[in-house]
Amino acid sequence: MADIILIQPKAGEYEAAGIRPPDSLLAAAALPHEKGYNIKIIDQRTDKNWKMLLKNHLKNALCMGTTAMTGQQIKYALEISKFVKENSDVPVIWGGVHPSLLPEQTLKNKYIDIVVKGEGDYTFYELIIAIEKQRKNPNKDYLKNVRGIYYKKNGKIIRTELRPFLQDLDKLPNLPYDLVNMNDYFGFTIKEGKSITLMTSRGCPFRCAFCYNTVYYKNKWRGMSAEKTIERIKYVKDKFGVKNIYFQDDNFCANVPRFKKIIDLILKEKIDITWGLLGSRINSLKYMDEKFLARVVKAGCINIDVGIESGSQRILNLICKDIDLKEVIEVNKKISKFFTKTKYTFIMGIPSETEKELLQSIRFALKLCKDNSHVLPIFNILFVNPGTAMHNLALKYGYNEPKNLEKWANSGREGEYKEYPWLSKKMIKMMENFEFTSFFATKNIDYKISKKYLKLLAKVYQPIAKYRFKNNFPHFLIEKRLASVLSRSVK
């Protein structure tokens, strides 16, 4: 049986804090693996000789699949796809958020043959079967019956019927961790001891103007049952002896009864695990009373990440965040007694944001830090997700959107923001300072850093970062360049 090759591309400096398992590819691989296909996963981040490995597997391959988020990862996924095309005639398949948002534009690239739009769990399995049949009988078009793909045929782009969102996540097989060397992926930690990432739900019911969710999942939230979630927790705990889990769901608490049941079950079954949430909202925390929050912490929750986005109510209303600054202050005070780390993320550079409003956000973040010593405020420069309401707003402000796949590789934080027509040079300088120094301005970054010497460096740099952050002092930011060199050298 021919091999199905999947390659995880690098994602650049973002992985300096530790490499996470290739969950997107593992999810796509789960069903075909269960059905007996030979899946080979190569990881460009950890396999230094990935080209040689790939070349060997290409000799007996049915197809090669890779994944991409908007931004730098596209550059690496393109490098992989080019290599495949130059060394074989194996079909190249792209999945993931970026190709799903812009399938036709992605397919215009000469190195890509098929795009899987949206959830790939079932689509990929059906696609493999179709490619197998197509190989045996090249004159027939088997791809047209696979829902949720775009492909090229005689120079034209064909789009098949849309695949509806998965309804029952409980039916999904476990991620096939045996296909990779998991020891490569425990470097990303949220606390001492082995950590792993898990995803127990998809989507989010909210409507934030900048978020991919509004387009990608169309505000549809679906979650595994509380029981299945517990089963997955126990599975990774038993299999790998992990001590910590970082749930990467966009909105883990969207379904409150499910969340409560998960907490009840962890406590009832005395599961010894610490965990953190990548996606939670002020609204959800608002409805949790102190008694319940104490149970959440008792069940092992040590950190939560919450999107605040701005300290200006005008900006919050503009981006449909549906939160109120007063309630942020109240919730922050309430949770200060509970979670040992609370990461608040902010977005800078939204069209029409003034210098005054940006500084308002900094002051607001400092107030949150003052009221709650566990706060880690992180400031990111706006990155325009294709197809979102923010994308439309940016276009109104003269945004010159990337016109092809290669150009999307430079989007947002990769430097494109310097070309946003609504930003002055002064604003850009301020934002670059806040983006870098927010990481280190408090001692709370340490849980995101696993390497001891990096922890120490962060500690030494902290007073300088704090000064720069607090006083808007962006001049001579040479340490940012040094950090960039350092992060490249530790990969």
Residues contributing to the site for ligand SF4 (CB under 6 A): 204, 206, 208, 211, 213, 250-251, 279, 281, 307
326 exposed, middle or buried (CB, 10 Å; 0-12, 13-18, 19+)? exposed
Query: Could you give the CA distance from residue 328 to residue 325 in angstroms, rounded to a whole number?
Result: 5
Min CB(485)–ligand SF4 separation in Å: 32
Rg (C-alpha) for the chain, rounded Å, is 23
203 binds ligand B12 (CB under 6 A): no
Question: Which range, of 53-61, 96-104, 282-290, 419-427, touches ligand B12 by CB under 6 A?
Answer: 96-104
Residue 251's binding partner among ligand SF4, ligand B12, none (Cβ under 5 to 8 angstroms by kind) is: ligand SF4
Q: What are phi and psi of 299, to 5 degrees?
A: -80, 0
Binding to ligand B12 in span 403-432, by CB under 6 A? 413
> Quick one: tokens of 319?
């981006």
Residue 307's binding partner among ligand B12, ligand SF4, none (Cβ under 5 to 8 angstroms by kind) is: ligand SF4
Query: Could you give the CA distance from residue 263 to residue 257 in angstroms, rounded to a whole number?
Result: 10
Min CB(337)–ligand B12 separation in Å: 28
Half-sphere exposure of 35 (CA within 13 A, CB side): 16
Q: 222 or 470: whose CB is closer to ligand B12?
A: 222
Residue 119's binding partner among ligand SF4, ligand B12, none (Cβ under 5 to 8 angstroms by kind) is: ligand B12
Question: What is the three-class DSSP state of 462?
Answer: helix
Q: 331 or 405: whose CB is closer to ligand SF4?
A: 331
Q: From the list 4, 16, 24, 180, which residue makes contact with ligand B12 (rule: CB under 6 A)?
A: 24
Min CB(206)–ligand SF4 separation in Å: 4
Residue 96's binding partner among ligand B12, ligand SF4, none (Cβ under 5 to 8 angstroms by kind) is: ligand B12
Min CB(303)–ligand SF4 separation in Å: 16
Query: Could you give the CA distance from residue 90 to residue 81 in angstroms, rounded to a whole number?
Result: 10
Strand ranges of the sheet holding 375-381, from the earlier edge strand across to the other edge: 195-198, 244-247, 274-280, 301-309, 341-348, 375-381
199 binds ligand B12 (CB under 6 A): yes
Residue 69's binding partner among ligand SF4, ligand B12, none (Cβ under 5 to 8 angstroms by kind) is: ligand B12
The residue whose two tokens read 């439309």 is 392
Question: Which range, of 119-127, 297-305, 329-337, 359-367, touches ligand B12 by CB under 6 A?
Answer: 119-127
Binding to ligand B12 in span 230-249, by CB under 6 A? 248
- The four Cα atoms 335, 341, 347, 348 give a dihedral, to 10 degrees, of 110
Residue 163's binding partner among ligand B12, ligand SF4, none (Cβ under 5 to 8 angstroms by kind) is: none
Q: 64 or 211: whose CB is closer to ligand SF4?
A: 211
91 binds ligand B12 (CB under 6 A): no
Query: Could you give the CA distance from residue 113 to residue 423 in angstroms, rounded to a whole number?
Result: 38
Binding to ligand B12 in span 260-299, by CB under 6 A? 278
Query: Could you give the CA distance from residue 442 to residue 465 in angstroms, rounded to a whole number?
Result: 8
- The four Cα atoms 230, 234, 237, 243 give a dihedral, to 10 degrees, of 40
89 exposed, middle or buried (CB, 10 Å; 0-12, 13-18, 19+)? exposed
Q: 199 or 230: whose CB is closer to ligand B12?
A: 199
Query: Could you give the CA distance from residue 442 to residue 448 in angstroms, rounded to a whole number?
Result: 12
335 binds ligand B12 (CB under 6 A): no
> Quick one: tokens of 234?
């126990």
Q: 388 or 442: whose CB is closer to ligand B12?
A: 388
Query: Could you give the CA distance from residue 69 to residue 10 in angstroms, rounded to a whole number?
Result: 11
Q: 218 or 337: whose CB is closer to ligand SF4?
A: 218
> Quick one: tokens of 86?
């130059």
CA-closest candidate to residue 234, choices 190, 266, 191? 266
Min CB(292)–ligand SF4 separation in Å: 20
214 binds ligand B12 (CB under 6 A): no
> Quick one: tokens of 62?
């049915």
Q: From the list 16, 50, 62, 72, which residue makes contact with ligand B12 (rule: CB under 6 A)?
A: 72
27 binds ligand B12 (CB under 6 A): yes
Q: 194 or 202: whose CB is closer to ligand SF4?
A: 202
223 binds ligand B12 (CB under 6 A): no
Distances (CA, A) of 43 to 7, 31, 83, 145, 426: 6, 20, 15, 31, 40
Q: Where are the beta strands (DSSP E) in 283-436?
A: 301-309, 341-348, 375-381
Min CB(117)–ligand B12 separation in Å: 9
Q: 180 or 338: whose CB is closer to ligand B12?
A: 180
Residue 67's binding partner among ligand SF4, ligand B12, none (Cβ under 5 to 8 angstroms by kind) is: ligand B12
Question: What is the three-class DSSP state of 344?
Answer: strand
Return the amino acid letter for 260.
K
Kindly report the number of other CB atoms within 10 A of residue 267's CB atom. Answer: 14
Question: Which range, of 112-120, 139-147, 366-374, 460-468, touches ligand B12 by CB under 6 A?
Answer: 112-120
Q: 181 or 471: whose CB is closer to ligand B12?
A: 181
73 binds ligand B12 (CB under 6 A): yes
CA-closest candidate to residue 113, choices 151, 146, 79? 151
Kindly give, in sequence order, each residue whose CB lies less than 8 Å from that of residue 170, ignoring residues fewer than 6 positions away: 224, 225, 228
- State the residues that interact with ligand B12 by CB under 6 A: 11-12, 14-15, 20, 23-25, 27-28, 65-67, 69-73, 93, 95-98, 100-101, 116, 119-121, 124, 199, 211-212, 248, 250, 278, 380, 383, 385, 413
